[in-house]
Structure 1
Amino acid sequence: MKKKQYITTLTIAGFDPSGGAGIQADIKTMSALGCYATSVLTALPVQNTVGVRSIYPVPYQAVKEQIEAVLEDIFPDALKIGMVHTSELVTTIVETLRNYPKMPIVFDPVMVATSGHKLIENETIQRIVNTLFPIADIITPNLDEAGILADMKIETVEEMYLAGNKIKQLGAKNILLKGGHLKTTQLTSLFFSEEDEVHEFHFEKYETKNTHGSGCSLSSAIASYLAQGNSMLEAVTLGQNYVKEAIYQGKDIHIGKGNGPLNHFFNPVKLMKK
């Protein structure tokens, strides 16, 4: 395989017409962090900053062919997988990726939008656990998604620890459990490592509604830092710091009538060479 000159990333995710989440947030994040972003579209949600109105699927064959077209031409240094809303789509992605060399994979189990709208079919969850968890190097659920995976309500940091351990037993290698939805004055996240270590992160919470796409941006940031050769813990740390600052730099910007986007390009990095 011909050696590339620049660091490249791939996002496999859904669309956001309002530009703040999904594949658009992924591309913005990866580009802001100095990676050349390629993308594969899995679904066409009709949404804005207020909420999701409907979801139109992309044909599975089209998803397969998109992945093949990118991997055969611009093989990524890391991959982020976002919205996979049907079991057939999960199978399509996993089986297609098996035909290519392994790269670091970040899976953001997008199940619930910031607006609270459920984005995934119930029967898809087991397929994700059985086939996507084994190939993912890290998963990045928020509390709603972790609650679905662990089959429990999560309202405290102690319950975050319980949920993280339950999800680990499902076969996840590394887990970044995001605590942004906790009703506390401080944001806490927990990183459960493959080595069975748990790292706590604490961040200031900002008074803002502009968090639309924050989960997409975080998983893409982690993928970008992995593509640049950082360790998993380093990528998780740097990714969270990037999103924290992107939220801070965008907290007073007014775009849309609902949950506004982050300021992804608060400090853009030039396209990085290997």
Structure 2
Amino acid sequence: MEKLVLTIGGSDPYAGGGVQTDLKTFENHRQFGLSVLTAIVTNTKDDFSIHSLAPELVRQQLQSLQNVNLAAIKIGLIGQVEQVKEIKEFLRLKPGIPIVVDPVMVMKEHNGNAQKSIKEALFSKLAPLATLVTPNLREAEQFLHHPITNESQLVMATQQLAKMLGVAVVIKGGNRLPGADAIDCLTIEETTTTFKGKKQTQAFENGAGCAFSASLAAQLSEQTAISTAVQIAKEYVADGLKKGVAVAPNFGSFWHGGVPVLKEAK
């Protein structure tokens, strides 16, 4: 029977990231996706903006789902500290559910103080409640306040962040580290594992990070082991990058092709 999996995050008009790709990813994993919006992204010729929804609207959306039997929750873009408070209260009422926190923190329109406040709220209030936290390389650097430029630093950073938060952490190295492989690193308590795959040269990568964390949430709803889920999610994203869709000049979005994936690792 299909599980109900919730995504809490922003709306991407290009449908490569945000709740749009989360919902498609859940469906690819044969799960039924529900969504709560925190923000609406706009991208015009002269401006890129993230328009945060009022915390009261976030609260009302979450209250609409209070009686829903959720199997997993994925948390993405959060634009205001006040939204963090509403989400934390909702999670308190849903104990025992796998939670994936994807700490989206790179927001051009925010000043340094707002960015710092959101980062601190994510770090102190939501991340410790997670089953798994999935920062990319740049987000991990913001958390830890130091650069990550090679595989050994990636391993140490994952271990450090997992120890600080007290939960499992996978850092998405992606294409940012030198070498032919895209490297992700997972730490669960005292065990650290690296996952490698050939870097993709396709340009259509908008939403790949969202798809990765959404795949993890869908799999954790089935009680898949975290390390196995990371391997499957990595393969899912690699395949989706090959099938990405051009949606604007020199820009494209992640798409898996609409074909459900197997839940077993290859």
TM-score (norm 2): 0.90
Question: Between Structure 1 and Structure 2, how many residues are aligned?
Answer: 258
- Matches for 1:33-44 after TM superposition, within 5 Å: 33-44=29-40
Aligned counterpart for 2:171 among listed residues 170, 177, 184:
177
Provide the residue aligned with 1:263 in structure 2: 255
Q: Which runs of 5+ in 1 are unaligned?
A: none
Matched, 1:87 2:81: yes
Report the Cα offset of residue 62 of structure 1.
Answer: 1.2
Among all aligned residue pairs of Structure 1 and Structure 2, give the percentage whose two residues are the same amino acid. 28
Distance 1:255 1:100 in 2: 37
What do the CA deviations read for 1:69-106 (whole angstroms, capped 9, x no partner)?
1231x321111000112221111100122123330000
Matched, 1:14 2:7: no
- Whether the 8 Å contact between 1:46 and 1:55 is mirrored in structure 2 is yes
- Matches for 1:121-200 after TM superposition, within 5 Å: 121-180=115-174, 181-193=176-188, 195-200=189-194
3-state secondary structure, aligned to 1:111: coil
Distance 1:243 1:97 in 2: 27
More relative contact order, 1 or 2 (CA 8 Å, 6+ apart): 1
Report the Cα offset of residue 260 of structure 1.
Answer: 1.2
Distance 1:132 1:82 in 2: 11
Matched, 1:60 2:55: yes
Higher relative strand content: 2
Query: CA separation of 1:104/1:170 partners in 2, compared to 1, >3 Å: closer, same or farther?
Result: same
Query: CA separation of 1:137/1:263 partners in 2, compared to 1, >3 Å: closer, same or farther?
Result: same
Higher relative helix content: 2
- Matches for 1:103-114 after TM superposition, within 5 Å: 103-112=97-106
- Whether the 8 Å contact between 1:45 and 1:52 is mirrored in structure 2 is no
3-state secondary structure, aligned to 2:89: helix
The root-mean-square deviation of aligned C-alpha atoms, in Å, is 2.1
Worse-superposed segment, 256-265 or 230-239:
256-265
Report the Cα offset of residue 118 of structure 1.
Answer: 7.1
Q: Which runs of 5+ in 2 are unaligned?
A: none
* Matched letter for residue 108 of structure 1: D
TM-score (norm 1): 0.87
Aligned counterpart for 1:202 among listed residues 196, 218, 221:
196
Distance 1:143 1:175 in 2: 12
- Matches for 1:68-83 after TM superposition, within 5 Å: 68-72=63-67, 74-83=68-77
Worse-superposed segment, 241-250 or 18-27:
241-250
Report the Cα offset of residue 240 of structure 1.
Answer: 1.2
- Whether the 8 Å contact between 1:112 and 1:118 is mirrored in structure 2 is no
Query: CA separation of 1:147/1:218 partners in 2, compared to 1, >3 Å: closer, same or farther?
Result: same
Report the Cα offset of residue 245 of structure 1.
Answer: 1.0
- Whether the 8 Å contact between 1:8 and 1:77 is mirrored in structure 2 is yes
Distance 1:232 1:131 in 2: 22
3-state secondary structure, aligned to 1:71: coil
What do the CA deviations read for 1:244-274 (whole angstroms, capped 9, x no partner)?
1111233xx432224411222352269xxxx
Report the Cα offset of residue 206 of structure 1.
Answer: 1.7
